[in-house]
Amino acid sequence: MRIVIADPLAYSAPFERALRAALPSADFVRWPDLADGAEYDLLVAWNLPKDMTALPRSLRAIFCFGAGTDQLLHDPRIPPDLPVARLRDQGQAEQLLDYAMHAAFARLLDDVVVRADQQARLWRPPDRQNRTRGSLRMAVLGLGPLGLHVARGLSDAGFPVSAWSRTARRIDGVGCLHGDDGLGACVDGADVLVNLLPSRRETRGILSDRLFSRLAPGAYVVNLGRGDHLDEEALRAALDQGRLGAAWLDVFAVEPLPPEHWFWRHDRVRLTPHRAGLPTPQGAAASIAAVATALEQGHGVPELIRPGKLVEN
């Protein structure tokens, strides 16, 4: 099994050790150090490198090294009949849940108001009793494996959770809705909106004023999906008008985020540079090993998303 590694994160020593432990007989090669005329079985990448004008010879599959696969599925360099498998990493899912939980507790404790009062040196008694988890409504968009983990985790922590997906789902402890009508019902009155949808034509711009207007006053919007889900100007208006309390953003339409972008300066925006859910060495290595072993033994490739249809994160 010859595997091309084309992701900088996977070049690190912890990932290299984990990969070699999981696949001791495999031959790993870093891009672009491919031998002339050599054939390769599996390519590991989140994005194809810009200088990869042609795929490695005899490639049998691509492993998506990260959450979300749309950047590969829309890449014209990848033929539609080449299998693409996605990462399944419990550690990555836990990180995304932690991020969503962090935002939920920040909303619960009125973090934005508290920090503003501190900056103003203002000792202001609360205008209401402290809320409990059970009084804070969460809405999760996207019920793929990652969204499912986040929705369940928030529910297990005591938050009432509604979740929306394109097709009908059923999850104990989570109010599941689907379709166009279900979307509005999912977000109605929510205090925290967590987006984990994939990038599709139908989901681009979904985080819009139409949704923001249905949230509870002072709600937080948490975008862990894709940057193109967010209507940035609608978000700015909702924040500046006080209709939204804060936005926690980890993904952006343009990455790296340009230094002149208003997100950097807005006091109600908390941003992180696309790091809310990173692959872990052991989880990624196990997932890559499962795909490599399936290819070697002629079995069905696990977590296969192409050939096939786009799926939710």
How far is residue 279's CA from residue 277's CA, in Å, rounded to a whole number? Answer: 7
Q: Is 178 a catalytic residue?
A: no
Angle at 311 between CA 285 and CA 70, to 5 degrees: 75
Residues 6+ apart with CB under 8 A from 27: 1, 2, 3
Q: Name the one residue in this structure whose structure tokens are 């949230």.
A: 215
Residue from 152, 226, 229, 306 carrying the catalytic annotation: 226
Phi, psi for 310 (deg, rounded to 5): -65, 145
Q: Is 306 a catalytic residue?
A: no
Phi/psi zone of residue 206: left (φ > 0), alpha (ψ -120 to 50 degrees), beta?
Answer: alpha
How far is residue 203's CA from residue 199's CA, in Å, rounded to a whole number? Answer: 6
Burial class (CB in 10 A: 0-12, 13-18, 19+), 13: exposed
The CA–CA distances, whole Å, from 201 to 60, 70, 74, 198 equal 28, 11, 12, 10
Residue from 137, 166, 270, 274 carrying the catalytic annotation: 274
**What is the DSSP code string of 245-300?**
EEEEE---SSSSPPTT-GGGT-TTEEE-SS-SSPPPHHHHHHHHHHHHHHHHHTPP
Report the C-alpha dihedral over residues 98, 99, 105, 106, rounded to 10 degrees: 150
Residues 6+ apart with CB under 8 A from 85: 61, 62, 63, 64, 291, 301, 302, 303, 304, 305
Nearest Cα to 293, choosing from 29, 10, 63, 58?
Answer: 63
Positions marked catalytic: 226, 274
